[in-house]
Amino acid sequence: MGKVSICIPTYNNLEQVKHLVCSVNEQTYQDIEIIITDDSTDSRIEEWIGKQETKEEFPCLHKCRYRHNEKPLGHIFNWNEALKLAKGDYIKIMFSDDWFTYRDSLEKLVKLLEDQPEAALAFCGSMQVSASDSYARAATEEFIEGFTKDYRHLITGDEIGAPSAVIYRACGCYFDERSTFASDVFLFMRILKKNSNFAYTTEPLISIGVHDNQYTCDFKEIDQRKLTDYEILYREYQAWENQACREFFVKQFVFPYKLGWKYAKSMRIPYAEYAKRAWEIMKWNVTKGYPHAIKKRLGRQTAPHQ
């Protein structure tokens, strides 16, 4: 058993799995175990892993425990299968379309926890990599300031990043299987409720594969599943006690979803905060929204015929 459990849930994506395993194999830190839970509808990943058992190309796979689910479990359930099999002191989730940016990425992530023994989790910046572009992202100073004061600040916007950008101490926490859109926030909040101390670096130690098949691409801008997730989080963690969380909920859900004052009151949002947002929206409509719409409409009407 390795000190770090690298948990890799997979689904019909052999080439991405190979890329990730290659980056694991190159890591300077190798006190690891690898757990792969495969939700694939074919046997390509299973066959490839089987062939590596007698080869030396990927020594890290000699520390691998592989499970092909009898039938696909679905995203979050498969993620939890990997976590439940982990035996290491530290849990390192790696979604199979992500990878370690540098050879010492895992070493640096482990060091964050070992240098700060009071921290429950550590997270890093990331490289967002698509077929046409790549850029680095990291938590802002403003987010870190609010997050340090109250871990529930995470509800206002997940600047921790994707689960692949996180390493945490084994504590029996899994993804909440009620969740859909904000599944990563559910996991982080469960960990932080037990111990809200954290460590972080802005260095992009993890690369996140950005593509159209990502789980979150299935969600619309206004989506009931988003609202349901954040309602659960807001109530379960009594986020109404945090002003930033209340303001976020009013701005992102109460008005865009047209839920009204009665709903806002049920979420323990003070009338003054509700009214303030209503005034901001009305003011914007009067000074910018309506004039812009009128100009756009007139522009279409007076445009010369082609």
Digit-coded pLDDT (tens) for 149-175: 999 999 999 999 999 999 999 999 999
Q: How confident is the model at residue 305 (pLDDT cuts 50, 70, 90)?
A: very low
Give the model's pLDDT for residue 295: 58
User: What whole-number distance in Å separates Cα of residue 207 and Cα of residue 225?
Assistant: 27
pTM: 0.90
Query: Is 250 strand, coil or helix?
Result: helix
Q: 172-194, pLDDT tens digit by residue?
A: 999 999 999 999 999 999 999 99
Q: 205-247, pLDDT tens digit by residue?
A: 999 998 776 666 677 999 999 999 999 999 999 999 999 999 9
Amino acid at 285: N
Query: Is 196 strand, coil or helix?
Result: coil
Mean predicted lDDT score pLDDT of the chain: 92
Give the model's pLDDT for residue 298: 57
For the residues 114-135, what does the mean pLDDT come to?
96
Q: How confident is the model at residue 306 (pLDDT cuts 50, 70, 90)?
A: very low
Query: Is 69 strand, coil or helix?
Result: coil
For the residues 15-28, what does the mean pLDDT come to?
97
Q: 65-76, pLDDT tens digit by residue?
A: 999 999 999 999
For the residues 66-91, what does the mean pLDDT come to?
96
Give the model's pLDDT for residue 219: 77
Give the model's pLDDT for residue 53: 74
User: What whole-number distance in Å separates Cα of residue 205 and Cα of residue 208?
Assistant: 10
User: What whole-number distance in Å separates Cα of residue 51 and Cα of residue 61?
Assistant: 10
Q: 274-302, pLDDT tens digit by residue?
A: 999 999 998 877 776 555 555 566 555 44
For the residues 116-135, what does the mean pLDDT come to?
96
User: What whole-number distance in Å separates Cα of residue 125 and Cα of residue 135?
Assistant: 11
